[in-house]
Structure 1
Amino acid sequence: MKLLKHLYYFLIYTNLLIAGAAIAQSAVTYLFFDVPFDYPIMMIEGAATLLLYNFSMMLSKPENPQKSVYKRTRWIFKHEWLLWLNSGIGGIVLVYAVSHIHLYSLFFLAGIGMMSVAYSIPMMPYKGKWVGFRQLPGTKIFHIALVWTLSSVCLPVCEMYLDGLAINIHLFQTLFVLKFIFLLICTLPFDIRDIQQDSYYHLKTIPNMIGANRAIILCYVLIIVHSAIVLLSAIQLEVQMGVLATNLLIAVVLKRVVFRNANRYHYAFLLDFALIAQFLVIYLFL
């Protein structure tokens, strides 16, 4: 049990968990379309996500990391060499994978990358100063969900199209909506957890604007809406069952673990595991 706990924290602190989640979410797209996995695209998803999250960590490095109130910050910069090592490996993997995709997919990937960087780097004027998307009131989770949806749905579909595969537009539109809502479900609990921290940094997130209790209710409403769309969609029965089973699992984890232990900072990262679990559950049902 102690070994699993250490592994859990290691995957969180090194951003390997979120990179694995990105790979899993792109793999879900191939399951929806019932086509073989495109491994270069999946490698790009994992490596690019790892690099972006590592880059965000480096940008937010405090003046004295070891005095931070957050255990994660202290651990990361105590083992900063590991951050640079996995970034180097991620960079090599990214370069290799990018050389195996179409040029138009590369252009699309570059656009997603610019949107991702705009999350943290000041690129837009707001109230007389330049800010990133995360500082615009109420846009934080929508920006994250959109970037992940473009990356895990649109990029694979773009590459499929360029490979000459016929794309079912209705299925594509359905998956886009489902993925966007699913990512809101998995992102909102982080903002609920960070409501005090975001207030300190003057970030107006959805929980800050409507309150923690209403934000919790919103999570459950989104799960219901997501499940209803799945049931009404013309997708494979096995895929429907896998998605619904994952939604039920997430609802249980939110109610019994995440929202009951709001003071346990790392419990919210179970939602990153949910991104992987969705792929695994659908894969088992197929």
Structure 2
Amino acid sequence: MPLFSFKPSVVPPATPENAAGAWTATLRRWTDAVLYSSTWLALAALALTWATFLFWRVDIPVRLGLMIFTATLFLYNIDSVLPYKHGQPLVLSGRKRWMLEHRRELLALALASLAVAGLLFFLDGWQHLTLFLGHLAAISLLYSLPIAKVRGRWRALRDLPLLKVFLIAYVWAAITVWVPALYLAKPLFGPVVLVLFARRFFFILALAFVFDIRDYTKDQLTGTRTFPGVFGVRATKWVALLSLALAYLLFPFDIGYEHLVVLSLPTVAAAATIWYAEETRSDYYFALLTDGIMILQFLAVYFVS
């Protein structure tokens, strides 16, 4: 018997089906990378900030947009690689599995994003707003970072009962409404800015409830008390729809009828996304569709501007 035997591999013939399968696999890999690295979410933060500038008919400063984009990338990716989170009881979805497999790349992306955001912060003279921006960064970092030990288990801000959706809505509204207002030297508590802030707050709050539904089992396992866990999924959907209705009613005072019709489209899409949200939905339902509602909101504002 020979020491080595060689069997030529059989190369499947090139067919349209094989080509289509390879193209689909490549598309899926890139889609997963964009969604699960929080790039899509960072684009949503940029889009909502841009929408606020569009309301005041001002072009978004490119460097400010880049700073918000990279800061969002940093905060969400550093959250996804926190060591303590990998000791939690996990329900391994495709999203979680992808993040575990790419922890090193996510950490590198987070650090590179921090470097860019930090450089732009200093170059563009935002130091006078260190306290304001610092408190938003602190909430974002402490949202998942253990800060206190309660009954033998480390707890983060998100673990405080029913609080996490309100923290998310506040930080997103502050970044995407108050930062543009500060850039344009508008009073944060002026009537127009307050209406825009409240509208954005309730809009993000409605979408945040969808992610509470997604995380229902994980939050139960970690002891985090959220709206679905306390009141049930159906009741949570009604609260989310109420929040969305409040966001819709808080239109600026001088908006025209045709603008109202176009700007209703993201609200209708968000309502459908909320109503059909289930924990068993695909990761794409949450990462692509639900986060995509924010980009749809920007497109509607861009269309009517």
Which TM-score band applies after superposition, normalised by the shorter structure? 0.7 to 0.9
1:249 aligns with 2:269: yes
Letter in structure 2 aligned against 1:150: A
> What is the distance in 2 between the residues matched to 1:202 and 1:50?
27
The answer to which of 136-145 and 240-249 deviates more is: 240-249
Q: Give the superposition deviation at 1:90.
A: 1.2
Shift in alpha-carbon separation, 1:166–1:49, aligned structure 2, 3 A: closer
Alignment partner, residue 232 of structure 2:
211
Decide whether aligned partners of structure 1 residues 88 and 242 sit closer, same or farther in structure 2, where only a CA change above 3 A counts.
farther
> Is 2:93–2:283's contact at 8 Å kept on the other side of the alignment?
no
2:273 maps to a residue whose letter is V
- Is 2:298 aligned against 1:279? yes
Deviations 1:225-252 (A, max 9, x none): 222222xx31433654443221012223
**1:203 aligns to what SS in structure 2?**
coil
**2: distance between equivalents of 1:178 and 1:276?**
16
TM-score when normalising by structure 2: 0.81
The two structures have a TM-score, normalised by structure 1, of 0.85
Residue 176 of structure 2 is matched in structure 1 by 152
Q: What is the deviation of 1:130?
A: 6.0
The correspondence of residues 67-216 of structure 1 with structure 2, limited to 5 A, is: 69-98=92-121, 99-123=123-147, 131-161=155-185, 169-216=190-237
1:30, distance to aligned residue in structure 2 (A): 0.6
1:108, 1:155 within 8 Å by CA — same for their partners in 2?
Answer: no
Structure with max Cα Rg: 2
3-state SS of paired residue (1:236): coil
Unaligned runs of at least 5 residues, structure 1? none
Task: Read off the aligned partner of 2:266 and give its amino acid letter.
Answer: T
- Greater shift in the superposed pair: 107-116 or 140-149: 107-116
For residues 10 and 40 of structure 1, what CA distance do their matches in structure 2 show? 24
Q: Tell me which residue corresponds to 1:268.
A: 286
Residues of 1 paired with 2:277 and 2:187: CA distance?
43
For residues 189-212 of structure 1, the C-alpha deviation after alignment (integer angstroms, 9 at most, x for no partner) is 110121122111100011111110
Structure 2: gaps spanning 5 or more residues = 1-22
User: Which deviates more from structure 2 when the two are superposed, residues 215-224 or residues 183-192?
Assistant: 215-224
In 2, the alpha carbon distance for the partners of 1:53 and 1:285 equals: 31
Shift of residue 5, structure 1, vs aligned partner: 4.3
SS in 2 for 1:62: helix
- The aligned amino acid for 2:43 is G
In the alignment, structure 1 residue 47 sits paired with structure 2 residue 70: yes
**Residues 105, 159 of structure 1: 8 Å contact kept:** no
Q: Give 1:143 deviation, angstroms.
A: 0.7
Amino acid at match of 1:264: S
The whole-number CA distance in structure 1 between the counterparts of 2:168 and 2:212 is 12
Letter in 2 for 1:102: W
* Shift of residue 147, structure 1, vs aligned partner: 1.1
Q: Quick one: distance in 2 between partners of 1:246 and 1:175?
A: 16
Q: Give 2:247's aligned residue.
A: 226
Paired residues of 1:40 and 1:101 also in contact (CA < 8 A): no
1:242–1:278: 8 Å Cα contact kept in structure 2?
Answer: no
Of the structure 1 ranges 198-207 and 105-114, higher mean CA displacement relative to structure 2 is found in: 105-114
TM-fit CA distance, 1:17 = 1.0
Aligned-pair identity in percent equals: 24
Change (3 A) 1:260 1:26: same
Residues 160-212 of structure 1: CA deviation (Å, up to 9, x unaligned): 21xxx688921101001001000011111110121122111100011111110
Separation in structure 2 between the aligned mates of residue 176 and residue 143 of structure 1, nearest angstrom? 14
Greater share of residues in helix: 1
In structure 2, do the counterparts of structure 1 residues 224 and 81 end up closer, same or farther at CA, with 3 Å as the change threshold? same
Q: What residue identity is the alignment partner of 1:274?
A: I
Q: Which whole-Å CA distance do the structure 2 matches of 1:202 and 1:167 have between them?
A: 37
- SS in structure 2 at match of 1:69: coil
Secondary structure of 2:116 counterpart: helix
Q: RMSD of the alignment, in Å?
A: 2.8
